[in-house]
Amino acid sequence: MPSPPLLPPKPLTPHDLRLACRNGTYSTTTSLTIPTVQCNLLVLPSRYAPSFTQLCARNPVSCPLLHSTLPGSKTTPLAPGANLATDLPKYNVYKDGKLLAEGDGIASVEKYWTEDHVGFLIGCSFSFEWRLAAAGFPPKHTLCVPVRCVPMFRTGVPLSPAGEFTGGCLVVSMRAYKEEDVAEVRRITRAFRRQHGEPVAWGWDGARMLGIEGKVREGLVDFGEWVGIDGEVGEVPVFWGCGVTPQVAVMESGIEGVVISHVPGCMFVTDVPVEDEEVSGLKL
Amino acid sequence: MPSPPLLPPKPLTPHDLRLACRNGTYSTTTSLTIPTVQCNLLVLPSRYAPSFTQLCARNPVSCPLLHSTLPGSKTTPLAPGANLATDLPKYNVYKDGKLLAEGDGIASVEKYWTEDHVGFLIGCSFSFEWRLAAAGFPPKHTLCVPVRCVPMFRTGVPLSPAGEFTGGCLVVSMRAYKEEDVAEVRRITRAFRRQHGEPVAWGWDGARMLGIEGKVREGLVDFGEWVGIDGEVGEVPVFWGCGVTPQVAVMESGIEGVVISHVPGCMFVTDVPVEDEEVSGLKL
């Protein structure tokens, strides 16, 4: 199976990409080869904004907060001109913690985003996949044809609660690498401090520490799609904090009202170059 | 048993207190009634300073970094005139991860603190005990005669690693409160964001989630001294992040060279008023 080219034939701009997400041409932002930062989105009633901001501050590895909007605003300086209510491929809408039947994977949330809603943009590990690929470590899910979404797992590691947000555990994304490459992969992603940074655990000992060894060995993902780990060539799982974490925390905390999130793997593409998020000169 | 007065007969200044710690009059800073911020101390070879700073940034609830010194400096703007190498009651000195026989609970570390060492001051939950007491919730260990050090436990919750610091789990301090008071106790300490803030878990479900239910039920502390939990009057354990966490992380990461720490419960007393650390207007 030949690898797809690392750069598309005609590079799209982030603006083009957002339009393609808006009109349904792109149904996921996984494995994009555009080197700008991608974000998780969570939209909450304004009364929960202080506690949610604090939840992010207390759990910065899984919930690195990049921007929060004013109540009612659907814009962000991370992508001037973009509309957060339409420019992600797919959204979920919840009411009182339950997914609305009419809000399951929908293309626009204009009708749910009220004057009282605050949008939170949270860093995403998709932002450093381009850099991993450029360094010779393309994540395996980006090489699948058709592309797959990164595998994600709910761990047994509790979050530090904040105010109303007392539920939830760390969610991680998983990429398989050869054991001998883990140090370099750690070094590369360490520089992306607001995009989950270096891994939270690696190897089978790491999977055990996170309480997910069984699920990972059996390929039972909680979100995204499974991609194998080839032990015969020395691959081991490597785990990063994941922006689905705050989504799960919010759903499990039983808060009231309408909450909007992206569908895992269907992120917001910003105009911020990946290089701007990279802290140079970091050694392991 | 009458409670000791909440304020000492002759209030000491932080400077007086540090002198009393330096000359051995005070062998612990637990249950002090002086309302200034107390700190954990960790002193590392300078080559580990970037990774340790990042460890704190990735684990801010247990490792809230308040100040780091220049290499070789033993001073801090948190307490002008103080000497970090002499003004804590007791220190431990480690070499290559092992406690030195001659560095076990010693009164001064002047001879170990080289021009290459960097001191890190980390927030401490002792800082909000004064406020808890003032609000009618004095922690039980502060009412014991003689006073006891707060009970501390190593949990099973892994830290987010950073560079060389790949080991260690969250350490928590425990205070028992009536179940009906937990919400108010959470609200009070929530305001002390750089002093571990609100609890990380509470109740027996919380103990289970942290993986320490057995140890807590049996009173088997890892650090500090046991204080009972009176279930008959409705008390449950409440757990806060603890600044012993980074100490354990450093020891378990197998780094080389001389490392200095305070002895758990023997903190650095700053000049910073507790009020300055309190974020007002926080609701739960």
Q: Using 50, 70 and 90 to split pLDDT, how confident is the model at B35?
A: confident
- Mean pLDDT, residues B2-28 taken together: 74
Residue reference for tokens 């290499």: B71
Is residue A19 domain-resident?
A: no
* Cis peptide leading into residue A199 (ω within 30°): no
B67 in contact with chain A, both atoms CB, cutoff 8 A: no
Determine, yes or no, domain membership for A236.
yes
Q: Do A201 and B163 touch (CB under 8 A)?
A: no
Residue B12: pLDDT above 70? Answer: yes
- What is the CATH number for B221? 3.40.1640.10
Residues from chain B contacting residue A199 (CB–CB below 8 Å): 161
Dump pLDDT digits (tens) for B246-256: 999 999 998 99
Taking contacts as CB-CB distances below 8 angstroms, the residues of chain A near B280 are none
- Is A115 contained in some domain? yes
pLDDT for the residue numbered A284: 54
Is B7 domain-assigned? no
Closest Cβ opposite residue B158 in set A161, A162, A209:
A209
C-beta separation of B247 from B255 below 8 A: no
Q: Give the mutation candidate from A155, A157, A159, A160 for the B interface (greatest B CB count, under 10 A).
A: A160
pLDDT tops 60 at residue B2? no
Q: CB–CB of B127/B192 below 8 Å?
A: yes
Check pLDDT > 60 for residue B137. yes
Is B4 within the bounds of a domain? no
Place of tokens 């001073």: B75
In a domain, B5, yes or no: no
A219 within a domain of the structure (yes/no) = yes
What's the N-to-C CA distance of chain A in angstroms?
34
Contact residues, B window 231-250, toward A, CB-based 8 Å cutoff: 241
What pLDDT score was predicted for residue B282?
66
Distances in Å between the Cα of A265 and the Cα atoms of A40, A91, B261 are 9, 11, 44
B27 pLDDT band, cuts 50/70/90, is confident
Give the residue-averaged pLDDT of B87-113. Answer: 94
Backbone angles phi, psi at B21, to 5 degrees: -70, -40
Q: Is B234 buried (19+), middle (13-18) or exposed (0-12) by CB count in 10 A?
A: exposed
pLDDT of residue A7: 47
Q: Which span out of A17-31, B26-40, B164-178 was modeled with the highest average pLDDT?
A: B164-178
Domain count, chain A: 1
Q: Which of A161, A163, A200 sits opposite B161 (nearest CB)?
A: A200
The DSSP annotation for B69-121 comes to PPTT----TTSTT--TTTSSS-EEEEETTEEEEEEEEES--TTT--TTEEEEE
Contact B47/A at CB under 8 A: no
Greatest CA span in chain A, whole angstroms? 55
Mean pLDDT of chain B: 92
User: What token pair was written down for A57?
Assistant: 């501050």
Q: Name the stretches of chain A with pLDDT < 70.
A: 1-11, 33, 281-284
Residue B3 lies in a domain: no
Q: What is the C-alpha to C-alpha distance for residues B264 and A248, in angstroms, rounded to an integer?
A: 36
Q: Which domain holds residue B56?
A: 14-30+39-277
Main-chain dihedrals φ then ψ at residue B282, nearest 5 degrees: -80, 130
Partner B contacted by A55 (CB < 8 A): no
